[in-house]
C-alpha cells in the first residue's frame, strides 16, 4: 500500500457544510478546536495589519472559529450564506478592483479539489500584491493518509499527475472530486516548484498532524474521538512532531506552505 501511486474512490462524497458549520461553530470539543488552532493561528503573523485577505474554497468557513477577522473575504464555488463572494478556483473571478490589491490568499484544504492547481496559482499571482503571501494547508499523501482514504473510500489520489502542466488533472465536473497528492507533487521539491513558478518563493514548507487529526472528531465529518484536555493535546502534538520528523512519509497528514510573491507573473 505504501507504494501505491493511485487510488480512485468508488463514490464522490459531498460534505454537509451546513451541518458541519453548525457543529464546528458551536463546538466545545477541545480536540477539534486544538486542531483548528494549529491549522490557522500561525497565519496571524502574516495577516496582522493587512487590509485585503481572501480565502479560496472556504467550504464550511471553519477559519472563523479561530481567526475572527472581519477583513477575511470568504469565497467558495457554492454560495453558502456565510460566503461573501462566489469564486471558481479555476477562474479566480474576483474582478478588476482586486488586481494586484490582495495582501493575503488563504487556501485551506481546498487546493486538492482544484482540477488545475498550477493555473490557479498563476491566476492568484495576478491579484496578489508584490510581497503578498499565499497561506496553504493541504493533505499530505503519506502511508497513513492512503490507508485512511482506502478504508473510508474517501478521496482520490494520484502521484502520477502532472501538476505543473496547467492542464486539468481530473474532470472538474464536481467541486468534490479531488487529488490529495497535489500539495506533495507541487511543493515537496522546492527547486522544481521555483522553476515553474518564478513569481513565488517558498517561505515555509512543513509537515504536521497525525494523532491530533485522527483524534479530533473530524472537520468535514463527525467521528468518534477520545476527549482530551489541552495539556494532553500538547503532549500528543509533540509525539506527532517526533513521528513526522523521523518518518514523514509514514505519518504526516498535513502540509503547510507559505508562498511569497517576489516577481510579477508573465502572461
CB atoms within 10 A of CB 40: 20
The CATH number given to whatever domain includes residue 89 is 3.40.50.150
The pLDDT confidence band at residue 2, using thresholds 50, 70 and 90, is low
Is residue 146 in a domain? yes
74-88: pLDDT as tens digits = 999 999 999 999 999
33, 63, 40, 5: which is closest to 208 by C-alpha?
40
Per DSSP, helices labelled H in the chain are 17-25, 30-40, 44-47, 63-66, 117-127, 143-152, 182-187, 190-196, 211-214, 230-246, 248-251
- The model's pTM: 0.96
pLDDT top residue among 64 and 264: 64
Q: Quick check: 115 pLDDT over 70?
A: yes
Please state the domain count of the chain: 1
145-195: pLDDT as tens digits = 999 999 999 899 999 999 998 889 998 888 899 999 999 999 999 999 999
Is residue 133 in a domain? yes
Is residue 99 in a domain? yes
Is residue 89 in a domain? yes
4-32: pLDDT as tens digits = 899 999 988 889 999 999 999 999 999 99
Write out the residue range of the structural domain in which residue 154 sits: 49-208+255-261
**C-alpha grid cell, residue 165:** 502542466
Q: Report d(CA 161, CA 184) in Å as an integer.
A: 11
- Tell me what pLDDT residue 173 has: 86
Is residue 13 in a domain? no
Amino acid at each position: 500500500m505504501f507504494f501505491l501511486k493511485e487510488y480512485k474512490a468508488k463514490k464522490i462524497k459531498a460534505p454537509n457544510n451546513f451541518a458541519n458549520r453548525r457543529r464546528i461553530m458551536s463546538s466545545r470539543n477541545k480536540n477539534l478546536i486544538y486542531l483548528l488552532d494549529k491549522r490557522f493561528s500561525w497565519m496571524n503573523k502574516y495577516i496582522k495589519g493587512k487590509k485585503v485577505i481572501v480565502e479560496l474554497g472556504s467550504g464550511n468557513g471553519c477559519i472563523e472559529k479561530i481567526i475572527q477577522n472581519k477583513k477575511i473575504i470568504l469565497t467558495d464555488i457554492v454560495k453558502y450564506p456565510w460566503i461573501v463572494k462566489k469564486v471558481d478556483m479555476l477562474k479566480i473571478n474576483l474582478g478588476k478592483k482586486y488586481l494586484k490589491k490582495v495582501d493575503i490568499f488563504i487556501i485551506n484544504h481546498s487546493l486538492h479539489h482544484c482540477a488545475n492547481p498550477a493555473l490557479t496559482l498563476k491566476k492568484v499571482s495576478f491579484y496578489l500584491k508584490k510581497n503578498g503571501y499565499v497561506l496553504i494547508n493541504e493533505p499530505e499523501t503519506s502511508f497513513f493518509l492512503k490507508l485512511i482514504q482506502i478504508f473510508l473510500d474517501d478521496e482520490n489520489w494520484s502521484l502520477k499527475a502532472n501538476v505543473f502542466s496547467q492542464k486539468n488533472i481530473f474532470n472538474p465536473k464536481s467541486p468534490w472530486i479531488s487529488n490529495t497528492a497535489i500539495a506533495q507533487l507541487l511543493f515537496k521539491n522546492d527547486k522544481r516548484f521555483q522553476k515553474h513558478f518564478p513569481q513565488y518563493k517558498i517561505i515555509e514548507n512543513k509537515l504536521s498532524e497525525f494523532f491530533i487529526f485522527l483524534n479530533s472528531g473530524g472537520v468535514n465529518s463527525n467521528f468518534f474521538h477520545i476527549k482530551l484536555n489541552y495539556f494532553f493535546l500538547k503532549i500528543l502534538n509533540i509525539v506527532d512532531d517526533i513521528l513526522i520528523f523521523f518518518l514523514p512519509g509514514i505519518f504526516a497528514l498535513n502540509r503547510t506552505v507559505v508562498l511569497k510573491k517576489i516577481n510579477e507573473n508573465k502572461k
